[in-house]
């Protein structure tokens, strides 16, 4: 089973704000994100799960949290306490891929287990006083850039962006 991280980040690696929410709105990335994970199994941190309350349609949602009793939006959503537990349950369900959709601590916890990174890189820095950043995976030699596509600025997207797909190198 493949574990894929999908995120949008600015040129400083910022993925969001510690107080919640995205500090930008880029419709092309939002459409790409939704098309990629629609009706697919996702793994999400508890706070990001709360922020995205009305977004989930898939029954295969794994909420990574240490909080013992949380209310989940739909009966098919599951609380997990570790990445390994999420992967084990996903495998038992016969899932072929699990998409990690945030937040920062969840991306950090999942990076060692992941096979693929799908990143939208905004080619600007968005000032955020309480920035949450994506883990710095590029210091490692574990990753290879497989695909890159540039999205030019448009009326609803004031800066260019780059869609990148990274794969874990075979280290055996």
What are 61-78's pLDDT values in tens digits? Answer: 999 999 888 888 888 899
Q: What is the mean predicted confidence (pLDDT) over 86-102? A: 96
Q: What is the mean predicted confidence (pLDDT) over 6-18? A: 96
Q: What is the pLDDT of residue 103?
A: 94
Question: Which H or E run includes 79?
Answer: strand 78-80
8 A C-beta contact, residue 106 and residue 49 = no
**What are the domain boundaries of the chain?**
2-168
Distance between alpha carbon 161 and the CA centroid of its chain, in Å? 17
What's the mean pLDDT when you consider all of the chain? 93
What are 119-129's pLDDT values in tens digits? Answer: 999 999 999 99
**pLDDT of 88 over the 70 cut:** yes
Tell whether domain 2-168 is in CATH 3.30.70.2190.
Answer: no
* Edge-to-edge order in the sheet of strand 116-122: 78-80, 61-64, 42-45, 97-100, 2-9, 116-122, 161-168, 143-151
8 A C-beta contact, residue 80 and residue 87 = no
Task: Report residue 164's pLDDT band, with 50, 70 and 90 as the boundaries.
Answer: very high
Q: What is the pLDDT of residue 70?
A: 87
In three-state secondary structure terms, 48 is helix
Query: Which tokens is 45 given?
Result: 């941190």
**pLDDT of 42 over the 80 cut:** yes
Nearest to 116 by CA among 40, 1, 5: 5
User: What is the DSSP-derived secondary structure letter of residue 126?
Assistant: P
**pLDDT of 172 over the 70 cut:** no
């Amino acid at each position: 089973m493949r574990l894929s991280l999908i995120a949008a980040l600015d040129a400083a690696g910022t993925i969001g704000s510690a107080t919640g929410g995205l500090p930008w709105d880029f419709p092309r990335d939002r459409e790409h994100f939704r098309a990629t994970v629609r009706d697919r199994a996702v793994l999400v941190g508890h706070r990001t799960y709360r922020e995205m309350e009305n977004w989930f349609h898939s029954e295969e949602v794994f909420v990574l949290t240490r909080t013992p009793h949380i209310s989940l939006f739909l009966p098919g959503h599951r609380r997990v306490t570790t990445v390994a537990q999420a992967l084990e349950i996903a495998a038992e369900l016969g899932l072929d891929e699990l998409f990690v959709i945030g937040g920062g601590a969840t991306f950090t916890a999942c990076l060692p287990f992941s096979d693929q990174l799908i990143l939208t890189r905004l080619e600007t820095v968005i000032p955020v006083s309480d920035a949450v950043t994506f883990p710095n995976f590029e210091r490692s030699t574990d990753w290879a850039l497989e695909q890159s596509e540039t999205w030019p600025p448009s009326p609803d997207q004031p800066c260019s962006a780059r869609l990148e797909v990274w794969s874990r190198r075979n280290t055996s």
